[in-house]
Chain A
Amino acid sequence: MPDRRRVEPRLSSRPAPRLQELLARYGKRLRMLVDSHCGRDRGLDADDIEQEVHIKLWKMLESDKNLDFPASYIQKVVATTVIDALRRAEVRHAESLDTDVEPIVDPSFAGPIQPDRHAGHGHWGALLLRCIAELPERRRMPVQLALQGFKADEIAALTGCTVAAAQQLSYRGIEDLKIRLKELGADEIDP
């Protein structure tokens, strides 16, 4: 009785170095990207993330020679790796905090606030959230997304408006915020 199981084509070992080269090039770009996002003082190590993604992708490619390897799979690996890194960073961060520090902005947020931020930036953060809540509804979401770091074209893709509209709404909203915060004395702090 012949064995009718699916038999994978045996790939030569020739593509392996080339594949490693592709993964290395991809990892370099990913590291630069994470680096730029780590500028937000997130406690993420771009090298660790690059290494982890590289290993996960390589293992997957090695274990299944017939894997279709779609872009969505690669993106999923990146997403889960970054989310795990953020969780670990949050745990480290939480452990370093005083237990009596509580979130002052919104009780629904589980994320801890740094003590220095609580003392200084935390105050202005709370005021900022209050000012955002006072903005016209149309401007509120573009402003919040812009403050989260999204570019105008990304805001447009997310909200379904044009890039020009996203740019204008977020710009005007942020200008309004500056005026309001200035009225509240924000100009007195060191920018």
Chain B
Amino acid sequence: MKSIHDEQLKEWFRAATRGVPNHADQRLGVDELLRLARGEHLGDRHADALGALAASSDQSLVLSLLMQNQRASEQLASDARALRRPGLADRLQAWWRSAGMPPAFAAAGVALMAVLGFQLLGSGSTVNGAATPMTAQSPAEESPLFDGAFEPDDRMFAASLESSEQSDDLFHGNFDS
């Protein structure tokens, strides 16, 4: 069985290269392991680093683990950063504090802004009321409701209440006789 035989070879090799080499050149630092895990080239040190990996199953184990863990670590870093990012209020608060302003100033500032806001809102409503009518209005034409002109002679009643030649008596009969 080929696969078992491969595993057997690996087991022998790892057992034979167990531990950390005594030679300083064959010892990898954490930073070197991290750079290799990121796929970086170590320059002049790269050949020695590969030799160190071949010579030590412990170092190879750590690097292998870091390589396979790289993506998960990037994901965690990204998620944690997004989660820890402060909100607008937090950032404003931090900025205010870093500017060295006492909190009482902030309270006064907020109160002042509120007062100004209310004032602006109050005056704005009347102006708006006049400036923006509810319905559009066409320019008024000269169309008087009544065309007639009132002259001094115009009378509602034509009858005259003045005394005239005709008698205003209701009964013409003579009751005296």
Q: How far is the CA of A73 from the CA of B65 in the complex (A)?
A: 15
Tell which of B16, B34, B39 has the most Cβ of chain A within 10 Å. Answer: B16
Is A138's beta carbon under 8 Å from chain B? no
Is A82's beta carbon under 8 Å from chain B? yes
Q: Is there contact, CB below 8 Å, between A19 and B83?
A: yes
**Shortest beta-carbon distance from A70 to chain B in Å:** 6
Q: Is there contact, CB below 8 Å, between B84 and A154?
A: no
Q: Which residues of B lie under 8 Å from residue A55 when comparing CB positions?
A: none
Q: Is there contact, CB below 8 Å, between B18 and A148?
A: no
Tell me the B40-72 residues at the A interface (CB within 8 Å): 41, 50, 53-58, 60-62, 64-70, 72
Q: Is there contact, CB below 8 Å, between A76 and B30?
A: yes
Q: Is there contact, CB below 8 Å, between B53 and A158?
A: yes
Contact partner of B72 (CB less than 8 A), chosen from A30, A70, A73, is A30
Is B101's beta carbon under 8 Å from chain A? yes
Contacts from B to A (Cβ < 8 Å): 1, 4-6, 8-23, 26, 30, 33-34, 36-39, 41, 50, 53-58, 60-62, 64-70, 72-81, 83-84, 86, 90-91, 93-94, 97-101
Closest 5 CB pairs of A and B: A111-B19, A2-B100, A125-B16, A144-B54, A148-B60
Interface size on A, residues (CB 8 A): 76
A-B contact count (CB 8 A): 205
Q: Is there contact, CB below 8 Å, between A71 and B81?
A: no
Contact partner of A109 (CB less than 8 A), chosen from B22, B70, B97, is B22
Tell which of B18, B19, B64, B84 has the most Cβ of chain A within 10 Å. Answer: B18
Q: Which residues of B lie under 8 Å from residue A111 when comparing CB positions?
A: 17-20, 56, 58
Q: Which residues of B lie under 8 Å from residue A147 when comparing CB positions?
A: 9-10, 13-14
Known A37-B64, A158-B53, A191-B1; 8 more pairs at CB < 8 Å: A40-B11, A68-B81, A83-B30, A108-B26, A108-B55, A144-B13, A147-B9, A148-B61
Q: Is there contact, CB below 8 Å, between B60 and A108?
A: no
Q: How far is the CA of A20 from the CA of B75 in the complex (A)?
A: 15
Is A184's beta carbon under 8 Å from chain B? no
Tell me the A72-124 residues at the B interface (CB within 8 Å): 72-76, 78-80, 82-83, 86, 90, 105-106, 108-114, 117, 121-122, 124
Q: Is there contact, CB below 8 Å, between A113 and B18?
A: yes
Q: Is there contact, CB below 8 Å, between A178 and B5?
A: yes
Q: Is there contact, CB below 8 Å, between B12 and A78?
A: no
Q: Is there contact, CB below 8 Å, between A148 and B54?
A: yes
Smallest Cβ-Cβ distance to B47: which chain A residue: A141
Q: Which residues of A lie under 8 Å from residue B76 when comparing CB positions?
A: 22-23, 26, 71, 74
Q: How far is the CA of A128 from the CA of B9 in the complex (A)?
A: 8
